[in-house]
Amino acid sequence: MALALRCLRALPSLLHRSCFAVTRGLPQAPRGCPAPLLEGCRQCGQQMLLSRQLATKKAKGKGQSQAKVNISAALVEDIISLEKTSEDMQAVIEALKEDFSRNLNVRTSPGALDHITVMTKDGKFPLNQLGQISQKSPQLMIVNMTNFPESTAAAAKAIRESGMNLNPEVDGTVIRVPVPKVTRDHRESLAKLAKQSTNKSKEALRKVRSKNITQVKKFKNKVSEDTIRLLEKQIQQMADEAAAEMDKLLAAKTKELLG
């Protein structure tokens, strides 16, 4: 009985020291905060989580990359939409895929001409809306411009400038499009065009990245430097991942073209 009483007397002291040890490690509310962190200050709660994410340990040793940043979009939605940033970057990748599919094929088919844009006096139109496209032989395609004869010259110009290495011949309202034989030089030319298209897409990607980083920096006087730095790292990381995907697309396309 005496031993039990001595244990009970020591309990409050032990509890006090335990609580002090736990609370001592929690981040303190910043100066000027209208409410203590543990009482539900939203901004402080966000800052605490962002600070923890920023404190992710760096990889040690040469040749090892830093740990990935992964910010919760909900925490920074008042600053920037990371979902919209991701969508904009993905749109650049999809545009590159479409360019590869439409314009950089070893064998040209009638479908490859469908979406060539023709500039007319009434505006821009896809070629397949102005003319009837057919393939007479593996080496010859025909574009019949009977329905829009006034656009024949513009259509021939669009085909010539499409980057598909085509040299159309106009005969009245009919455009004959000889299909070049698949030579090694032609394959290498297409591979170079694929590289150029990829570089243009990476430039578009850099513009998306710069636009979003500029948006983040507008809040440098409203949020902490750590938050700004973390968001910049997140955006750069997203851009790096998109660029890496473009490199994979280019490698696959180059292998397809060169055989």
74 close to 45: Cβ distance less than 8 angstroms: no
205 close to 92: Cβ distance less than 8 angstroms: yes
pLDDT one-digit tens code per residue, 24-42: 444 444 444 544 444 444 4
Domains of the chain by residue range? 74-104+183-258, 110-178
Banded model confidence at residue 8, pLDDT cuts 50, 70, 90: very low
Banded model confidence at residue 87, pLDDT cuts 50, 70, 90: very high
Q: Over 70: is that where the pLDDT of 234 sits?
A: yes
pLDDT one-digit tens code per residue, 201-211: 999 999 999 99
Pick one of 1.10.132.20, 1.10.3720.10, 3.30.499.10, 1.10.443.10 as the CATH number of 74-104+183-258: 1.10.132.20
Q: What is the pLDDT of residue 47?
A: 52
Choose between 215 and 54: higher pLDDT.
215
pLDDT one-digit tens code per residue, 122-152: 899 999 999 999 988 888 999 999 999 999 9
> Residue 140: what are its φ and ψ, rounded to 5°?
-150, 125
Choose between 50 and 98: higher pLDDT.
98
> Which percentage of the chain shows pLDDT scores above 70?
72
Instruction: Give the whole-angstrom CA distance, residue 172 versus residue 174.
Output: 5
Amino acid at 91: A
Q: What is the pLDDT of residue 57?
A: 42
Domain 110-178 has CATH 3.30.1360.40: yes
**Nearest in space to 250 (alpha carbons), one of 107, 104, 115:** 104
pTM, rounded to two decimals = 0.60
230 close to 216: Cβ distance less than 8 angstroms: no
148 close to 131: Cβ distance less than 8 angstroms: yes
Q: What is the pLDDT of residue 60?
A: 44
Instruction: Give the whole-angstrom CA distance, residue 144 versus residue 158.
Output: 15
